[in-house]
Amino acid sequence: MVYEQSIIGRNPWWVTGKVPEVLHGIRRTEYLEKIDGRFKDRKILAVLGIRRSGKSTLLYQSISQLLASGVNPKNIFYINADDLRKPARENLEHALDFCQQKNMVSLKDEKIYVFIDEIQNVREWQLLMKKYYDLKYAAKFVVSGSSSSLIYKDSSESLVGRIDFLDVFPLTFREFLQFNNVIVPEVKLDLPSLKDAYYELSLKQNEILGYLAQYLKVGGFPEWFEVKNEEMWFKILSEEYTSLLLYRDIVKAFNIRDPLLLESLFKFVASHSGERFSYLGIAKEISADKETSKQYLYHLANSRMIYLSGYFTKSKKAAERKKKKIYFCDIGLKNSFAGEQDIGFDAENSAFLHCMKGVSQDLFGKVFYWFDKNMYETDIIMSCKSKVTPIEVKYRERKSFDARDLKGLIDFCKEFDNEHAFVVTRSMLDEKNIEDIRVTFVPLWLFLLAF
């Protein structure tokens, strides 16, 4: 009866009719609207993201919204896979049977909302979901997972056409401000919209810049707002988060043979975020063979702990031969291992993460970088919805830039017939025509609010 009691404890609304206040957290409206929009269809919804990015809180907030809309509390099940006796399909099925018997409802015949947290821990979970879907059960299933690569892998064949995905990221800067009760307007990445927002927020700019400095130091994990002590926060990040993210979500999931080597790789990446790398170069740095380093990097990337930015080219073979750039999933987590880098690297990392969040809405959206034959680089090439946007990060105090400062950016635009490019600056908001290229200059804080 242990796990049955655990299930009852996880579903207090069966008795009280509401989600306890302590589980509410701060609303992330964008994600909640997307989840709510998926309740209308039968497809399984997988909410994915690295551990502690706020997925469980989003599930509770969704449950709270369902209750507020009049859904019977007994028609909402929440199961945490970690509570099961064994992480196997039959135990999850028994847990669901218990919920139905306890509430005298039927998954097959009634619109039951089932939330299953940490689904990646359950062996053959996808076969159980496939069974319910193919038998046309009326229930709506929302599952969450920390090891995103496992979820994609498990569902790639069994659940094709039956599952949708929603990626959850640590807080964007816009959300970071909202969590600090600073409300900002919608901003598009074009000069008129940027100017409108700039002047609308003119009285708040010093406050916003203060929060930007904090964001570039502590990062975007929601738990920061419960701690709000930097020394304690970095200790939590370097100890607790590492234990969960590395050892539980990667070492255990992928049967890593050398956990200490994985941790060495993780620390190396933290101190080289924003730089180009080769697999052989990293292997030498951490005293490992090339294939092992490549495999471990692959696991880190597919678990959303790091991001690899490839070289932008229309030739896949040419892209494979070029070095990749590497970025960390969260600046605070990176700082907890490597200390604070040059502010320019952190500005670029934050701009890259913002672009990754932006392209996540597009199934084929990706973020690249580029350099010309003279090695002049363009930091970010955002490819989304058939549009390519080149972005250079120049986070230093300058009153003007010319073609020499932006050689890589201008060369990219000429090479690929782009008429418009962006430069992310410290404080400059302007637009200039440079060698027939329209270049929009935008402060980092404003860029991080746009799209």
Please give the share of the chain, as a percent, with pLDDT higher than 90: 73
What number is the average pLDDT over the span 235-261?
85
Instruction: Please say if the pLDDT value at position 370 is more than 70.
Output: yes
Q: How many CA atoms lie within 13 A of 275 on its CB side?
A: 13
Those residues whose C-beta lies under 8 Å from the C-beta of residue 91, and which sit 6 or more positions away, are 3, 84, 85, 122
Rounded Cα distance, 190 and 34, in Å:
25
Mean pLDDT of 204-223: 97
For the ranges 81-90, 103-112, 163-172, 311-320, the lowest mean pLDDT is seen at: 311-320
What CA dihedral angle connects 297, 57, 61 and 356, to 10 degrees?
-30
Name 115's bridge partners.
Answer: 78, 142
Residue ranges of domains in the chain, CATH in brackets: 2-167 (3.40.50.300), 173-447 (no CATH)
The reported pLDDT for the residue numbered 2 is: 61
* pLDDT of 149: 65
What whole-number distance in Å separates Cα of residue 19 and Cα of residue 79?
Answer: 14
Confidence of residue 334 (pLDDT cuts 50, 70, 90): very high
pLDDT > 70: percent of the chain = 99
Please determine, for residue 319, whether its predicted confidence score (pLDDT) is greater than 80. Answer: no
Task: Tell me the average pLDDT across 249-274.
Answer: 87
Q: How far is it, in rounded angstroms, from Cα 203 to Cα 440?
A: 23
Alpha-helical (H) ranges within 114-190 are 125-134, 148-158, 173-179
345-350, Cβ contacts within 8 angstroms, sequence gap of 24 or more: 345/273, 345/274, 346/216, 347/216, 347/393, 347/395, 347/424, 347/444, 348/274, 348/379, 348/380, 348/393, 348/395, 349/273, 349/274, 350/173, 350/215, 350/216, 350/444, 350/448
What average pLDDT does range 256-269 have in this prediction? 90
Residue 150 pLDDT greater than 80, yes or no: no
Full-model pTM: 0.92
- In this prediction, residue 320 carries a pLDDT of 77
> Does the structure show a pLDDT above 90 at 57?
yes
Confidence of residue 3 (pLDDT cuts 50, 70, 90): confident
User: Using an 8 Å Cβ cutoff, are 353 and 215 in contact?
Assistant: no
DSSP helix/strand/coil, 409? helix
Closest of 369, 66, 52, 54 to residue 237, by C-alpha: 52
**Mean pLDDT, range 174-197, rounded to an integer:** 96
What pLDDT, on a 0 to 100 scale, did the predictor assign at position 128? Answer: 95
CB 409 within 8 A of CB 439: yes
The per-residue b/e assignment along 381-390, b for 16 or more CB within 10 angstroms, e otherwise, is bbbbeeebbb
> Which tokens sit at 233?
């926060």
Model confidence at 278: pLDDT above 80: yes
What pLDDT does residue 234 have? 94
Mean pLDDT of all residues in 384-408: 89
pLDDT tens digits, residue range 108-131?
Answer: 999 999 999 989 889 899 999 999
* pLDDT higher than 60, residue 254: yes
The whole-number pLDDT of residue 318 equals 72
| b (16+ CB within 10 A) / e for 294-333 | ebbbebbbbbbbbbebbbbbeeeeeeeebebbbbbbbbbb
For residues 242 and 263, the answer to whether their CB atoms sit within 8 Å is: yes
The partner residues of 387 in beta bridges, in order of sequence, read: 384
Residues ≥6 apart with Cβ < 8 Å to 367? 307, 309, 352, 355, 356, 359, 380, 381, 382, 383
Is the pLDDT score of 198 beyond 90? Answer: yes
